[in-house]
Homo-oligomer: A and B are copies of this chain.
Amino acid sequence: MPPRLEATTEKWEVQVRKGVLELIILLSLRKHERYGYELITVVTGAMEFELTEGTIYPLLSRLHKDGLLTARWVEVPGGVPRKYYRLSERGRDALAAMKTSWIRLTYAVQRLMGDPRATRQEPTIRGSAK
């Protein structure tokens, strides 16, 4: 028996998120530094899905390790210290590349959604093609 349709769709949504989340985080850090916990509230507000700590902290660590982000600790009077992340030069380059790639992809998908015949192609009988 196949799984519920909602389960299937939800699994798909997780996969999509997986790809886009990195872009979203870099975009969110374009203008000013932010800390992890803040990003959870910001992204959850901007997008319409939950972002949890188990997702954001490993992600930020990885982006930092890859050199896309720089980090600094900031003491908060009477509070838990925050780890602020900022886009590095390298991060800006990566973001630019991702934006281009993202736009190209969404454009192609849009074309597919709009006109199904846009990619129509006669199947070739095996062996008859050059």
Contacts and interface: CB of A to CB of B under 8 A. Distances in A.
Interface of A: 2-3, 5, 8-9, 12-13, 15-20, 22-24, 27-28, 30-31, 34-35, 38, 41-43, 45-48, 65-68, 76, 78-80, 90, 93-94, 97-99, 101-102, 104-106, 108-109, 111-113, 116-119, 121, 123, 125-127
How many chain copies does the complex carry?
A: 2
Given A5-B90, A19-B20, A28 B80 contact: no
B127 A113 contact: no
A46 B125 contact: no
Contact of A113 (B16, B27, B31, B41): B27
B109 A23 contact: yes
